[in-house]
Amino acid sequence: MAKSVKKSPVKKPVARKAAKPAVIETHESPAVVKGAEPHAPTKANGTPLVEMKDISIAFGGIKAVDHASIDLYPGEVVGLLGHNGAGKSTLIKILSGAYKRDHGQIFVNGQEVTIANPRDAKAQGIETIYQTLALADNVDAAANLYLGRELKTPLGTLDDVAMEAETRKVMHRLNPNFRRFKEPVSKLSGGQRQSVAIARAIHFNARILIMDEPTAALGPQETAQVGELIKQLKAEGLGIFLISHDLHDVFDLSDRLVVMKNGKVVGTARTSDVTHDDVLGMIIAGKCPKGAIPGPGAMKQVA
């Protein structure tokens, strides 16, 4: 397969790797300070990549997300935890543009942005891997990868050959055994479909990646592969929101975690400052442990 990156019409991840050292420094400095003083406001050091402030959304009478605030720094993985229906997927869908918030602000690199639909989110470099994968099952991998941002020939028609060539390259990186480029994705295995969804999210120079249960449909080996990929992307300076039910995954991969309950943030903690039991207590009872910064959803404790 061709190694040249020059001709490729979209920027390749290689470009991102060049900027790696600088990004990692910005990531390290706030982390050190936060570790020393967990209750200090995180904003003191550097601008967060994303900051969602005071977000609310209601469906009918139900407040799915209730004044929630979260943030994410470059090169950081933030795990988002909570029961089914805690509001984590909804919160993240507001960031990816799938839902329109009723209240609150979103900042990207300190600038307030309008995210009214998925196109706005993508324009900000926010890419999402949905729990349902959100693939169009009746078209092939290349068509899914480029859905909504097709490569065109000079005449304005679809450049299917170029799209297939790029897809072959990116899939080769993620899943070297993948060969079924001509078949509709409905014919692929769960892992292969997941690879297509991941390829679509990382192929367009995402700065912020949202992964909603990325390993739910995968076997142990493929799960490990996704873990490796997250570490690699993190090293490249992306910010990643990771939603998962699997506490082990979250503890392995994330730097910080945010727990939600009934649409509210229970608390935020550095992964190294809390134990599994602490986190379970946050998820189940809304009890905020010592190492965490309590949010509006934390159980009111007697001081």
The yes or no reply on residue 127 touching another protein (CB under 8 A) is no
What is the pattern of x (binds another protein, CB under 8 A) and - over residues 67-106? -----------------------------x-x--------
**What is the three-class DSSP state of 32?**
helix
Among 11, 39, 149, 276, binds another protein (CB under 8 A): 149
The yes or no reply on residue 33 touching another protein (CB under 8 A) is no
158 Cβ neighbours under 8 A, 6+ residues apart: 150, 151, 152
101 Cβ neighbours under 8 A, 6+ residues apart: 55, 56, 57, 65, 94
Phi-psi group of 299: left, alpha or beta (phi > 0 → left; psi -120 to 50 → alpha; rest → beta): beta
User: By CB under 8 A, what part of segment 161-220 binds another protein?
Assistant: 161-162, 164-165, 168, 179, 184
Shorter beta-carbon distance to another protein: residue 39 or 149: 149
The yes or no reply on residue 113 touching another protein (CB under 8 A) is no
Shorter beta-carbon distance to another protein: residue 167 or 268: 167
The yes or no reply on residue 122 touching another protein (CB under 8 A) is yes
On the 0-12 / 13-18 / 19+ scale of CB atoms within 10 A, 220 is exposed
Which of 47-55, 56-64, 139-147, 268-276 is the region at the interface with another protein (rule: CB under 8 A)? 139-147
Q: How far is the CB of 27 from another protein (least distance, A)?
A: 29
Q: What is the DSSP string of 166-197?
A: HHHHHHHHH-TT----SSBGGGS-HHHHHHHH
Q: How far is the CB of 97 from another protein (least distance, A)?
A: 8
Shorter beta-carbon distance to another protein: residue 184 or 291: 184
C-alpha–C-alpha distance, residues 9 and 151, integer Å? 8
Which of 56-64, 159-167, 224-232, 254-262 is the region at the interface with another protein (rule: CB under 8 A)? 159-167
Q: How far is the CB of 74 from another protein (least distance, A)?
A: 24
The yes or no reply on residue 138 touching another protein (CB under 8 A) is yes
Q: How far is the CB of 227 from another protein (least distance, A)?
A: 25
Q: What is the DSSP string of 218-230?
A: --HHHHHHHHHHH
Among 72, 143, 238, 243, binds another protein (CB under 8 A): 143
Which of 43-51, 57-65, 66-74, 127-135 is the region at the interface with another protein (rule: CB under 8 A)? 127-135
Buried b (16+ CB within 10 A) or exposed e, 7-36: eeeeebbeebeeeeeebbebbeebbeebee
Q: How far is the CB of 90 from another protein (least distance, A)?
A: 14
Whole-Å CA distances, 71 to 13, 48, 49, 128: 24, 6, 8, 16
279 Cβ neighbours under 8 A, 6+ residues apart: 81, 247, 257, 259, 269
Kindly list the residues in this chain that would bind another protein in the complex (CB under 8 A). 1-2, 96, 98, 117-119, 122, 128, 130, 132-139, 143-144, 147-150, 152, 156-158, 161-162, 164-165, 168, 179, 184
